[in-house]
Structure 1
Amino acid sequence: MTGRAFLATFRAVLSDRSAFMLIVVSTILYSFFYPSAYSGEVAVRIPVAVVDLDDSGASRSLVRRIAALQQADLAARPASPGAARLWLETTGAGAVVIIPEGFERHILNGAQGTVALYGNGAYLLRSSTALSGIGLAVTTIAGEAASDQAMAQGAPARPALSLVQRPLFNTREGYGSTVFPGVGFLIIHQTLLMGLTMLAATLRETLGRFRLPSRTLIGIALAFFVIGWADVAYYAGFVFWFQDYPRAAGSPGALIVGGSLFVGATVAAALALASLFRTRERPLQLWMGTSLAIFFLAGLSWPAEATPAWLALLARLLPTTAGIHLMVGLNQMGASLAEQTREVLNLAILILVYGGLAWWRFTKISAPDLQPLKPD
């Protein structure tokens, strides 16, 4: 009976066009459509202008470094600050650099050279990206000048310590690399949840209240578990690689355990919810508007420490809260299951709670007109 229910569930998904589009097609479309918005994660080649009033070797060296930056495109060399301001206002460019007269002389005399940086507040992200790159070029020039000054004064040429900045997990330092690995697992959760509840609500509309034998319920759960695991393998094994998102090559065993817990908790929650809906449209109406709230409650983009304690505790009732943390930790950060004990226990408890509730709702509730539903 379990095997027949397993196969009957797949037939139901394939025969129901709306469910098939939601469970299968939308999962694939989202994997390409959603990341496309973040394809240009890091702003590059932002137009900047440089006003060189010093025209010295040091100022020309700084201009060359700015021109070589990935973030900046040296688009103009105005003759005066006024012309640079007019250029900034009319072209909507990112930033203006003004090198004042006496820049090199101050450095050679052992004093501090000054550089004025102006950003375009109308394009805050572009402007801040350009200014951060220019700031790095200025810092490099300043370091070289400080080294030359120290050598002239007989002091050590290099400091004993140097700062090396290296991002650990989000190596591209982009927004898409931060958001989509978590959103991918939210997509899996929502499509499974809405698809299973839609199929159950369709049966409820057609047959009224019905009771499922335990083996039939297990067969349905196994079918959706297989679909969910196929989604996890597709996203973790192909989509993240195809989109070039950071991956830490987590242990295959840990990924299998983590993925099984996440999918199991999602299927258990979907079955528990499926027993409550009477109309086919209700699951979509409820869950389409909650995806954003569920993502924020997961604590990936909005820290749990900044969330009210009662709300953070309530969020633990959602499979996505622990599931996203677990899967991102294993897949993107290379964490071990021991380091994710809290999330593992959270998902295991949800499987037991929601699974027990679904079993009780589908197999034990009785009514005068309630008949067992047998698989085809």
Structure 2
Amino acid sequence: MAHEMPCPADTARSLWQAWWQALLEVVRDKGVLLLLAGAPVLYGFFYPWFYGPEVVQRVAVAVVDQDGSGLSRQITRFVQASPRLDLRWVGSDEASAQRALLRGEIEGYLLLPPDLKRHVVRGQAVSATVQANAAYPLVSKAVQLGFAEAVGTASAGVEMRQLQARGQSLWQAQLGREPVRLQSLALFNPIEGYGSFVVPAVALIILQQTLLMGVAMRVATWAEAGRQRASARAWAGRLLAFCTLGGISGLFYFGWIFLMNAYPSGGNPLGALVLLACYVPAVVVLGCLLGWWMANRERVLQVLLFTALPLAFLAGFSWPAEALPEPLQALRWLAPSTAGIQASLRLNQLGASLADVWPQLLALLALGLGGLLWLAWLHRPWARRPA
């Protein structure tokens, strides 16, 4: 008996219907819809908001002046002029400054020791001590840099005057003090802001975790109802529906969120689209496998909710991957976020070409294809239990 081959138009129509049916099921599931559509929007607006100022400025500090000379007063004026610092108190009692630091009234202080000017005039080395609250690294960094710039500016002026006193002209003194001029310029983070550093990387973690939890919850719901074993066409529609929602979230971050917060982006927009085409399916397939394995909606949240922070450390942008134990250096590539973050930073922020990120894209393709084959193996006919 001859069998009629399905028409390509009928196949496409059936796939479209399966995609639409899966999309409707996701929309009707309020918990899954909140994770796949609501959570990315909420995180996209509120997470960057905490890093809006970008750079720590006007940190409350004090100066302990135990010298009382013109040089120490000049350093104090430079501290007042620093945009990083907000000079709240000037005195000679270090114990008072320490108490103010412990009470949280200031975040650090500069100690100018006795006989500061006398040692400088004699050409002797002298140290100015900086004490800062190290509980907040960004604040401590602002305190140290602000005081270092103030003291360095005053020190440069003293050195210039000493060179001129020895008979050198102003130009000769400038050239002798700094024969090779150093100009520091941040290429890919011009304002050197913390938000511009952390949000573009964490965006991939947010996209992965919301997509993982939403997909796994929906698949676990199907497993609870005994519907995880559907036809190949139905599963293709499900995967396409999940990828559609994940792709929209990715475009929302790469486009609107990065532009709205003025983060460095747009280096290689076409490459970023290729990255999303590899990243989203890899995450979706992983979510399907996790949902199939757990087969319980609540368990999905219980397990995945606490994995975001470890994955962020394993990704290699906030903690050097070389400092991880060797087993973790290999296992971290099983998470799509590891390759996704490294490729995204290169394409979006550094303007790299696709040739520069092919190892990361290959890793994502391998994860997606391997997960798809595993999903097909779980769906094999001989593994079905008899009704």
TM-score (norm. length: structure 2) = 0.85
Cα 1:41–1:104 shift into 2, 3 Å? same
Q: Is 1:190 matched up with 2:203? A: no
2:3 corresponds to which residue?
A: none
Q: Structure 1 CA distance, aligned partners of 2:371 and 2:305?
A: 21
Q: Structure 1 CA distance, aligned partners of 2:67 and 2:347?
A: 54
Q: Structure 2 CA distance, aligned partners of 1:314 and 1:25?
A: 31
Q: Structure 2 CA distance, aligned partners of 1:186 and 1:227?
A: 16
Identity %: 35
1:275–1:362 CA contact under 8 A, matched in 2: no
Please state whether the residue corresponding to 1:272 is helix, strand or coil: helix
Cα 1:53–1:281 shift into 2, 3 Å? closer
Q: Is 1:244 matched up with 2:256? A: no
1:163 corresponds to which residue?
A: 182
Q: Structure 2 CA distance, aligned partners of 1:102 and 1:313?
A: 57
1:99–1:114 CA contact under 8 A, matched in 2: no
216-225 or 54-63, which deviates more:
54-63
2:88–2:106 CA contact under 8 A, matched in 1: no
2:219 corresponds to which residue?
A: 200
Q: Is 1:323 matched up with 2:336? A: no
1:31 corresponds to which residue?
A: 44
Q: Structure 1 CA distance, aligned partners of 2:268 and 2:122?
A: 55
Unpaired stretches in structure 1, ≥5 consecutive residues: 371-376
Q: Structure 2 CA distance, aligned partners of 1:211 and 1:127?
A: 56
1:374 corresponds to which residue?
A: none
1:116 corresponds to which residue?
A: 128
1:213 corresponds to which residue?
A: 231
124-133 or 66-75, which deviates more:
124-133
Q: Structure 1 CA distance, aligned partners of 2:254 and 2:191?
A: 18
Q: Structure 1 CA distance, aligned partners of 2:350 and 2:15?
A: 38
Q: Structure 2 CA distance, aligned partners of 1:275 and 1:323?
A: 24
2:28 corresponds to which residue?
A: 15
1:255–1:327 CA contact under 8 A, matched in 2: yes
1:259–1:327 CA contact under 8 A, matched in 2: no
1:94–1:123 CA contact under 8 A, matched in 2: no
1:177 corresponds to which residue?
A: 196
1:311 corresponds to which residue?
A: 328
Report how many aligned residue pairs link the two structures.
Answer: 367
Q: Is 1:67 matched up with 2:77? A: no
- Amino acid in structure 2 at the alignment position of 1:212: A
Cα 1:267–1:54 shift into 2, 3 Å? same
Q: Structure 1 CA distance, aligned partners of 2:276 and 2:75?
A: 51
Alpha-carbon shift at residue 55 of structure 1 (Å): 5.0
Please state whether the residue corresponding to 2:301 is helix, strand or coil: helix
1:347 corresponds to which residue?
A: 364
Alpha-carbon shift at residue 115 of structure 1 (Å): 5.5
Alpha-carbon shift at residue 14 of structure 1 (Å): 1.1
Cα 1:297–1:96 shift into 2, 3 Å? closer
The Cα offsets for residues 19-54 of structure 1, whole Å up to 9 and x where unpaired, read as 111111111111233334434543321222234455
2:6 corresponds to which residue?
A: none
- Amino acid in structure 2 at the alignment position of 1:318: A
- Amino acid in structure 1 at the alignment position of 2:319: W
Specify which of 240, 246, 254 is matched with residue 271 of structure 2. Answer: 254
1:48–1:73 CA contact under 8 A, matched in 2: yes
- Amino acid in structure 2 at the alignment position of 1:111: G
Alpha-carbon shift at residue 365 of structure 1 (Å): 5.1
Cα 1:123–1:154 shift into 2, 3 Å? same
Q: Structure 2 CA distance, aligned partners of 1:80 and 1:204?
A: 70
1:276 corresponds to which residue?
A: 293
The Cα offsets for residues 104-153 of structure 1, whole Å up to 9 and x where unpaired, read as 4554x461474533414475533442122111121122123222222332
- Amino acid in structure 1 at the alignment position of 2:211: L
Alpha-carbon shift at residue 13 of structure 1 (Å): 1.4
Q: Is 1:137 matched up with 2:150? A: yes
The Cα offsets for residues 310-344 of structure 1, whole Å up to 9 and x where unpaired, read as 22111212211111111122112222221112101
